[in-house]
Structure 1
């Protein structure tokens, strides 16, 4: 899927855009709004706010920390093997230290990530701080014309580029989960 970004300073207009996109056959999991005005987004019927944790770079930071942790764990085990210490003390303390190094680096990566804006949205940092809102829509190739029709009806919406979107299987899973939850008695 491809992600299209748009910037607006009017949540009411974004609410109308999202309603029109849904009437064109796009699902709620395909459409999100990134805004610092979470309360304003929540008060609009159609707007789908980004989860707070996804506004930060926690996942990326954790992944980066895990990669560094694997390297640190490998270094601990390599040093132990080169020095020959496990032959006198056993491997248990070194394996434990390697596990602790991996866990600590992963945890620290997450802590660093939670302090940073998500890397996909850093290019919009100035607009968001200025009180504007970023609408992003993940579309399949067959939905491009519907998106263009809706956007053409809203000239104050400013196109802000494209990027890689959420994988289609994730959106399908979210849709099916919603259908399952709503079918429960």
Structure 2
């Protein structure tokens, strides 16, 4: 699946483009609009990005898990280096390693909740200037042609991919 991305500062033109896309056979769930003005999107009944797609929970959670796995490995390695032989001590060390990994994953995910998706970083400045990002998910070459045709009639929309 590929994505077509367009920027504009004209919400009315964006509304018209969204209706043209739907009228030309692009399903509404394949159309997403990212904007800092959520009120304007709801006024025009435009499909916003879901919070899950807007935020970077998985990306930062995976990074936290990787950091946690590294720290957990160091904790377990320290048990081997100090030649711990007591099974109860290994149980404590194992739970500590598991807890550290879980904590790092959790902290990474919390960090991801506060960040815009890293795939959308290129548009952060445009969004801050009040522009809106239209993203159209297309499955086939035919859908891509239809989407490009529907959008080309709307001059204020600038292709960014």
Mark yes or no: TM-score above 0.5: yes
Return the TM-score normalized by structure 1. Answer: 0.80
Structure 1, unaligned runs of 5 or more:
162-185
Runs of 4+ in 1 over 3 A off after TM superposition: none
> What is the DSSP-based 3-state SS (H/G/I as helix, E as strand, rest coil) of the residue aligned with 2:86?
helix
Q: State the match for 2:89 in structure 1.
A: 90
Residue pair 2:64, 2:108 contacting (<8 A) in 1 also: yes
Cα offset for 1:147? Answer: 1.1
CA RMSD in angstroms comes to 1.5
Structure 2 Cα separation of the partners of residues 88 and 95 of structure 1: 10
> What is the DSSP-based 3-state SS (H/G/I as helix, E as strand, rest coil) of the residue aligned with 1:117?
coil
Q: State the match for 1:152 in structure 2.
A: 152
Cα offset for 1:84? Answer: 1.7
Structure 2, unaligned runs of 5 or more:
none
Kindly tell me the number of residue pairs found equivalent between the two proteins. 160
Return the TM-score normalized by structure 2. Answer: 0.92
Residue pair 2:65, 2:101 contacting (<8 A) in 1 also: yes
Cα offset for 1:86? Answer: 4.2
Structure 2 Cα separation of the partners of residues 148 and 55 of structure 1: 24
Q: State the match for 1:133 in structure 2.
A: 132
Q: State the match for 1:31 in structure 2.
A: 31
Structure 2 Cα separation of the partners of residues 86 and 25 of structure 1: 67
